[in-house]
Chains A and B, each alone.
Chain A
Amino acid sequence: MELTFEKNTEGLAPYTATLDTTKETVHPNRVFKIPVFKDSVENGYFADVCGFRAKAKSIDGLENKMLQLTDGLINMARLPRHVFVARRARKVFPIYTVGDEVITTTPGGPIFRHIELAKVREYLTDFLHESDVLGENGVSDKLHVRGTSLSTLQLRRPVLYLKKRNIGEKEFWAPVFETENLDGLYTYAASGRREVKNEYGGRGVLVLTRIVAEALKTDKRLDDIYDLRPDRLQPSFWEKLKPNLTDAGSIRIKGKNIDLFTSDALHIGVEYREEEERFGLFLDDSATSLSERISADFDRRGI
């Protein structure tokens, strides 16, 4: 493993570290450009590697810290492709991807592995609650999922989440990330990785939602494909999708304004979630059923 530093003349990061893991990992890309920031409080430098922070007073000191950190993060010849973050407990749990499975390990304890990130999160959350790391179940810390960039090893928020939240039915949840080469979207759901390329333009979000819904229906985990919806869509991706849709006006449900669109036979309702600055989409095959669906979801959320 080799690490070199280059001084930057512009930008927020005074240095860029080039980390070469060609001999240690099996990723398609094994050389990473990691931004190094000035720590003005402690008068030193820091860099984040897959959500874990290395800090030192000098660049030389940081080199050792980063090498140690990266060495400890490499597992099964891989760096974590995702992490779970427990904010209050101030812990980060690396998640590795082997084939179509995501895996996380605990020292001397269980290994959690599944096709779906959501399942691994559920299992790990239960384990951490039972072992008193996250506090009391249901009222305390949650694990937040993040992807890691395979060019900079910095954390990336999901582009959106695919959700099924029907009262009385088993829930489904899957984060969707941009692909490693930024040429599409992917998620892990229903026995494998599901991916769409950018050839669909901004409609990739809807195409991926449909692919996952059909897969879940085949698995008998979804009765109605419109029960699965894209939620918390990042504004930049909404801006890419919006020009592909036909404006159908708006409707007011339980005091909230919902913009309506159509795409071929698909009816789409869009809720702007102010607190998160993200967009929640509802899908159905008619305006009436779409309205009922949105209303039911608002009831569930106590709106």
Chain B
Amino acid sequence: MMKNTFRYARMVVSGLMIALTFLIAGAAFAQDGVDFSTAEIAFAIDNFVMFICAVLVLFMQAGFAMVEAGLNGGKNTINVLFKNLMDMALGGLLFFVVGYGLMYPGDFNGILGFGGVGIANSTRIVADYLPTNEVDFLFQVAFAATAATIVSGAVAGRMQFRSYLIYSAILTAIIYPIAGSWKWGGGFLDAMGFYDFAGSLIVHAVGGFAGLAGAIVLGPRIGRFNKDGSANAMPGHNITAATLGVFILLIGWFGFNPGSVLAMTGEASTLAVVLTAVNTFLAACAGTIGAMILSYFVNGGKPDLAISLNGLLAGLVGITANADGVSNLSAIGIGFIAGLLVVGAMVALEKLQIDDPVGAFPVHGVCGIWGGIATALFGHAGTAGLGVQLIGSLVYASWAFVTMFGVFYALRAMGILRVSKREEIEGLDIAEHAGTSYPEFGSTTAFPAGD
């Protein structure tokens, strides 16, 4: 039954791609007097698919925005959405100017290099795929924005907007591109045989550990923890938006992972794309189930939607490192374990009194590491073994945590990291942006008035 389902899914995906091929080829041949070679058509298809995947990954920004806004208080909605917007706008420009050249420096010492400003001057040492630098830039800049926006959720509700812009600029321009260069730019981890297919570690763990650093340096939101060490729930204001955001992220992940095959033409690429797509979907489902089961035990015997949504994302993050080379059953196992891990990590953060409003570190940090390790544990052919995967995990976690801890610490020392108590209670929408996201509804006063 399950095998038939997978076969059916592959047939559907293959059918769509064949239709797409005819569509593009038809359009190309429709131009009078022009003959295109098979290689040129393949070039067009690969670039077109990559472009669609880049758009899907960019659409993930909408998903992150909905998840983070929905899981936070309504008084911080403008602030959360604004941060997500700036991750893309500011991060996108800086990644163009500096980041892309750092990430793909060409021949370099394996640790730090620079291929030049912008797209045209950059060269990539991995030359066995077809996409142009332009479409590759669009794909990669979306990854960079993803890494940055992960942190937004971890620091929500108490960080000054200007400090967030500084952090976001540093991560997208420097921290993330250098991390990416070590594997995808042909750096020292690539030389060691480390494998991270679409960025469980490079994108998600980097974002997750940067978020952990931010959450620690900022400290918890007022009222999150009691003096006796117990935690208070601070529920989001719109679980509908959060759920929509997670579904958007799921859709976006079909650009993130299958797009990371970086090609569509030819039997091998097509098979890799459809395998990756099915594995991505299965891991998401299994992660949701794993987290929902465990949520019974941490939520007084009732299943918790927000935890289950994070389970879905956990499954996606876990499979991102290895979706192209593990079996369907392995994908289910990886996703399910990620779903369990995310709940365990959320409970552990609570015990440690670290306030991560949306569970960014459990989802992206912990499950990013899990994805890297699972790549070896589940026998992906692309890796040189568990030892190398562990080294890669340690390197990425340390790099993101230590550098961003320093950045956040410096911002705190400058007195511009956290908003005042009053501003935090009032909400960052008013304090930081002089606006309210829902002027027609609810109360803008912090507490009920009464005589």
Contacts and interface: CB of A to CB of B under 8 A. Distances in A.
A127 B223 contact: yes
A93 to B, nearest CB: 7
B232 A111 contact: yes
Contacts of B75: 107-108
Contacts, number: 80
B234 A110 contact: yes
Interface centre among A91, A107, A112, A130, by most chain B C-beta atoms within 10 angstroms, is A107
Given A92-B450, A122-B226, A131-B421, A107 B443 contact: yes
A52 interface: yes
Lowest 9 CB-CB distances: which A-B pairs, in order? Answer: A108-B73, A110-B223, A92-B450, A110-B232, A108-B75, A127-B223, A52-B450, A131-B425, A111-B233
Given A92-B451, A127-B222, A131-B446, 11 more contacts: A52-B451, A72-B448, A107-B442, A109-B446, A110-B232, A112-B232, A126-B226, A126-B227, A130-B223, A131-B223, A131-B425
Contacts of A131: 222-223, 421-422, 424-425, 446
B449 interface: yes
A112 B425 CA distance: 16
B47 interface: no
Interface of B: 73-76, 221-224, 226-227, 230, 232-235, 237, 421-422, 424-425, 427, 442-443, 445-451
B233 A109 contact: no
A106 interface: yes
Interface of B is mostly: loop
A94 B448 contact: yes
B421 A109 contact: no
A107 B447 contact: yes
A132 B425 CA distance: 10
Nearest to B444: A107
B450 A53 contact: yes
B223 A106 contact: yes
Nearest to A114: B230
A53 B451 contact: yes
Interface in A211-270: none
Interface in A152-195: none
A205 to B, nearest CB: 29
Contacts of A72: 448
A93 B224 contact: no
A301 interface: no
19 contacts: A52-B451, A72-B448, A90-B450, A93-B447, A107-B75, A108-B74, A108-B427, A108-B446, A110-B221, A111-B234, A112-B232, A113-B233, A122-B227, A123-B226, A123-B232, A126-B227, A131-B222, A131-B223, A131-B425
A252 B76 CA distance: 61
A34 to B, nearest CB: 16
Contacts of A303: none
A133 interface: yes
Contacts of A127: 222-223
Contacts of A94: 448
A123 B226 CA distance: 6
B160 to A, nearest CB: 18
A51 interface: yes
Contacts of A123: 226, 230, 232
A158 B4 CA distance: 67
Contacts of B448: 52, 72, 91-94, 107
Nearest to A103: B233
Nearest to B77: A108
B233 A110 contact: yes
